[in-house]
Structure 1
Amino acid sequence: MSEQTLISRPALSDGPETENAIGARIRQSRKVKGLNQADLATRLGVSQPTVANWESGVHDPRQLMLAKIAEALDVQLGWLASGERSTAERDKHPTAAYIRRGLFHVPVIRLEDTVLMIDRNGADLHALATDYIPVTSGSNSLFGFFVNDEAMNLAFPGNTLAVVDYNHRVPVSGDVVLLQLPDGQPLLRRWRRDPSRLEPWSSDPAHETLYIDDLTGIIGTVTVSIRFH
C-alpha cells in the first residue's frame, strides 16, 4: 500500500497564491512529502528554478508535466490541476487580451443616419439607436448598421451587422471603410492604396472599382461584422 497523502486543501500562509492556484498546491504537496525544491526537481528531471517558477506562479506546468508532478508527490492529478491558473499564466494565454477587453452595448442605427457621424459631436447615437448589440472591443466609439449591399456581399452576406469605429478615420490598405459620397449618401467599400481606390467585395464582377484622388468623407472603419441567422 502506497503512502499517498490525502490533502484536504488547508489554508496556506507562506506564499502569495491561495490554495486555488496550481503553484500553491505544488508547494503544499512538496512540503507534506518532506521534499525541497531541488529534491522535486531531481525526481522530475527539471531544474530547481523551474520548480521555483511553478510555485511562485511565474508560469504553470503543462498537462503532461502535471501528471509527473502528481505521481512524484503522491497526489491526485485532478486535484493538482484543478482551480485557477496563476495570474502570469493567464496573461500569457492567447485569449487573455480578448477577455480583458470591455463589453459595450453598441447602438444599431440606420444606414442613412450614419452620415450624421461625420461630425462626431453632431449626433446623439442613443437617440438614433433602433437597437443595441453587445460587442467586446478595445474601443467605445462604435455604432452598428445592417449591410444590404450586393457590391459587398462576400464580406457582408445578407442580415450582417457591420460595427464601425467612428474614431478610426485613417484606414490602412485593405480596411473596409464607411464614407459619405459627395451627394451625401453613405457608401461601404474596401479601400486600397497605390492607386487609391474603393473596391467592391462581391460575387458579381459587374460592380465597379471607384478610383479616387483623396480619401475624404470617412465616417469610420469597420472593426467587427456579426451575421445573424
Structure 2
Amino acid sequence: MESSFAIAARSIGDRIRQARKAKGLSQSDLALRVGVSQPAIANWESGIHDPRRLTLAKLADALGAPLDWLAAGDRSMTESDKHAAAAYIRRPVRHVPVISLRTATLIAKDPSIDPHAFAEDYLPVTLGASKLFAVFINDAAVNQAFLPDTVVIVDYDDRAPEDGDFCLAQVGDAPMLRRYRASPARLEPASNERDFPSTIMSGAVKIIGCVRVSIRIH
C-alpha cells in the first residue's frame, strides 16, 4: 500500500483524507475505528486543528498508513496560534442552505439552479467549497453511516466521486444517498439490513454531488 502515499498531500489533514479515501472509508467509518466523533475527523481533514500524537498513531493504524508519513504533513495554522479559537475565527463562514431532497433532484436536472432560492433553513460551516447545500437524511439504507436526522452537506460542484465516497444521486425520479464504488461502478447501501440492493451506474443514474460533512441534529 506504500504506493498510495507516493504523491503526498501537503497537510496532515489532507494526508488523512487521502489515506481514508484510498482505504475506501467514510469519515464516519474512520471515526468508529479510531474512537472519535465524525466531526473530529472532518475538523482534522479541514485543517481546523490537528490530532494529537497518540491519536495520530491510532489513525495511522486504522488507515494502514505510515505514522511518519502522516506526521510529516504541514501542521494546521492553529499550532502557531496563541488563542484556541483563532483558527476558527480566521476561516470564512459560509451559510449553507438546507433544502429538501425533492429540491436536490431539480439541481440534478439543472446545475444552474440556486439552492438558496429553496432554502428552508441555513447552517454555518467553514468548508472551502462554494457550491453547497444541506439535506436531512432518514434512510435505513445508510443507517450504518448516517443515523436518523443527520444533516449531510453536499458539494454539488463535485459530481465525480472517488471510490468509497458517499454521494447524493438521482436514480430515476428518486434521490438517494449511497456509497460510490468504482469497480464495477455502482452505488452501495451502508446498512445493517439486507433489503437494499446496489445500483449499477447507468444513464438512469445522475450524481447530484458528493458529501463533504455530516452533522447529527439532537
Following TM superposition, by how much is the alpha carbon of 1:199 offset from its aligned partner in structure 2, in angstroms?
A: 0.6
| 1:126 partner SS | helix
From 166, 179, 190, the equivalent of 2:179 is 190
Per the alignment, residue 165 of structure 1 pairs with: 155
1:134 and 2:148 aligned: no
Confirm or deny: 8 A CA contact 1:108 1:143 kept in the other structure: yes
Q: TM-score, normalised by structure 1?
A: 0.55
Following TM superposition, by how much is the alpha carbon of 1:108 offset from its aligned partner in structure 2, in angstroms?
A: 0.2
- 1:43-122 equivalent positions in 2, closer than 5 A: 90=80, 100-118=90-108, 119-121=110-112
Per the alignment, residue 202 of structure 1 pairs with: 191
Q: Aligned equivalents of 2:169 and 2:152: distance in 1? A: 13
Following TM superposition, by how much is the alpha carbon of 1:102 offset from its aligned partner in structure 2, in angstroms?
A: 2.1
Q: Aligned equivalents of 2:103 and 2:173: distance in 1? A: 11
Following TM superposition, by how much is the alpha carbon of 1:110 offset from its aligned partner in structure 2, in angstroms?
A: 0.6
Question: Cα–Cα, structure 1 residues 97 and 165, in superposed 2: closer, same or farther, change >3 Å?
Answer: farther
Q: Show CA shifts across 1:194-224 (max 9, x none).
A: 1111110111122211223569511100101
Name stretches of at least 5 consecutive residues in structure 1 with no aligned partner: 1-86
Structure having greater relative contact order (Cα 8 Å, sep ≥ 6): 2
Percent of paired sites with the same residue: 47
> Which amino acid letter does the alignment assign opposite residue 135 of structure 1?
V
Per the alignment, residue 31 of structure 1 pairs with: none
Rg comparison, structure with higher value = 1
Following TM superposition, by how much is the alpha carbon of 1:139 offset from its aligned partner in structure 2, in angstroms?
A: 0.9
Q: Aligned equivalents of 1:141 and 1:133: distance in 2? A: 14
Aligned length: 141
Question: Cα–Cα, structure 1 residues 208 and 88, in superposed 2: closer, same or farther, change >3 Å?
Answer: closer
| 1:114 partner SS | helix
Confirm or deny: 8 A CA contact 1:90 1:96 kept in the other structure: no
Following TM superposition, by how much is the alpha carbon of 1:89 offset from its aligned partner in structure 2, in angstroms?
A: 5.6
> Which amino acid letter does the alignment assign opposite residue 155 of structure 2?
D
Measured on the aligned residues, the alpha-carbon RMSD in Å equals 2.9
Name stretches of at least 5 consecutive residues in structure 2 with no aligned partner: 1-76
Q: Aligned equivalents of 2:163 and 2:203: distance in 1? A: 14
Confirm or deny: 8 A CA contact 1:143 1:165 kept in the other structure: yes
